[in-house]
Chain A
């Protein structure tokens, strides 16, 4: 097996010069304010299946996005064409669009005093993600898959082992003089084994490790072994009768529920009254044991950035404190709409107005282990996977497909599948009766194990 060591596509242009030049050209062409983002990235990925290389992918790319204001009208354009003609087209297109959009009194860049970057080394970039020779990268993927398949003869098939590495750089510049520049790196190793039971039924599960530095990545062997454990325990899963019992969400699915809370605290959903948290600031909306924080400044975090999508420094925001809703997550526009201050949560794609993005968003851990939490339940459901996205943020209604393990007398017994777990997020927040001590950041959103009472399981 051979591959290529060079990562193609990165051109040595000073992206800061490109970004500030685009802003200057937009201002010269008639914009009253302008903001440009330049992104550049490289990626490497490989999938090994049943010991053989299945795919190898390598590439680099870059793109440019421009947002202009003409008075209180906004518009945006994007392109991957960095030639002078391409940039002219980008600038002229944005200004033409800004003639037709509406005057919006709340539109505009942040106030000049709000710009800035978080000081110090945030530990976001490590060039060691590409330090391995290609053969060794492929071997990472191979080792993860092999470790999984070696665990048990019932692991007969595989959706593969994989290794991915990427780096990215973004430069944000605007007509108020802000120029921010940030680089990040990422690598991950994963395994997706498939087990077959005596009845012929198949189950698949996965596990992964990701990190900003190769040196912080868990070993492929530990990832593969955990993937095998998660897959094997699903064999022979069955449906249960519809019932109402305590539900324990493992940290993976609990993180997904916490993601729903993030979406409900999104300032855009709040000002549009499209969130069940609209109008609830300062009220107690969850149990006193629930504290939720967004922190964009944690060194090395997957959600860390020195500045947000508008050039405002990221920060630590307490969203829920002992059950009280203390803050929404806001960018400049949504803050103005709600007569609040931005929380530095602007997210910026190439096109369109900024949205709301998380920093490192987490629920504060409790003191007890998941085993202790499960150990107290006489009859309950330990959920390890959700299927589907049945959450209505306007009403809080929650109904999702689930699989996991049944709890009897404090022990995990048989695997369960083809059931749903349903309730309402407003009630679920008040019915979190236990919070585990197992907070671990595997992505930018992290939540410990949660026990939630009062939910309905629908099955037979």
Chain B
């Protein structure tokens, strides 16, 4: 028996019998597996620009996606109307990826085990809009008060509550209510002819109290203003290969781009990743152990169950430099004969799930951050980044600094203009010679894009030293 307190039973009148019937319809043309993904998403956004709340919005999006698998083939259809005839029609459409009589029966549904990762007394989505307004206004005031050279402040608070129900013809039955909140702040600083930008933000699967106690608007304001002021004095970044030290936390985007995407099972099943066939091989220095962990409480990249209804896991990707495993969803796990790691994720009911990262980070090492900096003769110390990108087939990846400094003779020097760092995924981590004892996860702003689908993710590293990496500045 399955519990029936889900919103989809209560609000939309869907019954357990209906779910069996929809799955049956989806398998009616001979598909091997079918699943239904019901989603009801409410979101709120409020933003401040020029010290005014110029925009506040709220929205609801609801729908159901039906997927049918037959061998390596996927049929998919969705509806934003949860009336039975609409869902049946989507099921019939998706069913036709297969041809022939029904072969697989629908198993009786059984609730999946799930984590309890969101320690939220009341979701941010339920908080009063005035409370959210006060947060963004406080951030605006704090950033402007930080320094008279801060001439513009833009701040936004966005939260959502995603309720999902996933049922599969293999008996999968999972529900989850996923809160997510994010604070972002951009400052523009101006001094004489020089202008610069600073950015900060954070959040997670947290309630609004997180922004009243752990990470206040003043914290984010100070951070963005500080960065903008530093960048006012930035000088040209160097060009060429040199030593690079990455600060802890968000610079872990290195892992996301250099190895994370290349280890997603779909690319490896198809042999299109630069990491294909490298399991058991050395892809990093022995100081590197990297995991993807969807089970960390309250983190932006964490989820109790993935979007196929499987519980998330802590998966070792690289252990002491040796490639250990891939990130998989149900389809790749089945076709590759490996375990499903609970990484099947999707942007919404309109999208087909695929292997995606959750929180990807490197475990702490033994070196002190001070020793790491001191060991560098001439290099770059990069502590904050914008985004990155990877070509998973040739392995080349980039990530772009938003706050970086020269290191000369073991001392941190002048701030540098934004520049892109470029490397090759399968060997970038072999250049890691020092790993700090100061592992940090990012503040909770990451969004990962793949095949046009965005999902929230986290990253983290301790302070790291790479002996060689190409720095894309303009100065010799």
Contacts and interface: CB of A to CB of B under 8 A. Distances in A.
B53 A76 contact: no
Given A74-B54, A80-B81, A388-B388, 8 more contacts: A57-B352, A276-B195, A387-B398, A390-B418, A392-B417, A399-B237, A399-B473, A460-B240
Contacts of A74: 54-55
B389 A389 contact: yes
Contact of B472 (A63, A239, A390): A390
A395 B45 CA distance: 29
Q: Which of A11, A390, A423, A459 has the most CB of B within 10 A?
A: A390
Interface in A12-51: 49
A1 B99 contact: yes
Contacts of B55: 74-76, 101, 352-353
Contacts of A352: 45, 55, 57
Interface in B19-37: 29
B63 A61 contact: yes
Interface in B374-417: 386-391, 393-394, 396-400, 417
Interface of B: 29, 45, 49-50, 52-63, 72-81, 86, 89-90, 92-93, 96-97, 99, 129-130, 133, 151-152, 154, 186, 188, 190, 195-197, 231, 237, 239-241, 270-272, 274, 350, 352, 386-391, 393-394, 396-400, 417-420, 422-424, 470-476
Contacts of B474: 399, 422-424, 455-456
Top 4 A-B residue pairs of the complex, sorted by shortest distance between their CB atoms: A420-B472, A388-B398, A458-B239, A390-B400
A418 B73 contact: no
Nearest to A457: B239
Contact of B398 (A58, A80, A351, A390): A390
B57 A401 contact: no
Contact of B389 (A60, A89, A401): A401
B387 A388 contact: yes
28 contacts: A3-B75, A3-B96, A3-B97, A8-B79, A54-B73, A56-B96, A76-B55, A78-B60, A80-B60, A80-B61, A97-B58, A100-B129, A103-B52, A159-B272, A202-B274, A204-B393, A242-B476, A272-B50, A274-B197, A390-B420, A394-B196, A394-B197, A399-B237, A399-B474, A419-B470, A420-B398, A422-B237, A460-B240
B49 A272 contact: yes
A136 interface: no
B470 A420 contact: yes
B62 A387 contact: no
Contacts of B58: 77-78, 93-94, 97, 351
A54 B86 CA distance: 24
A377 interface: no
Contacts of A113: none
Contact of A460 (B93, B196, B241): B241
Given A57-B77, A59-B77, A242-B476, A388 B417 contact: no
Nearest to A62: B80
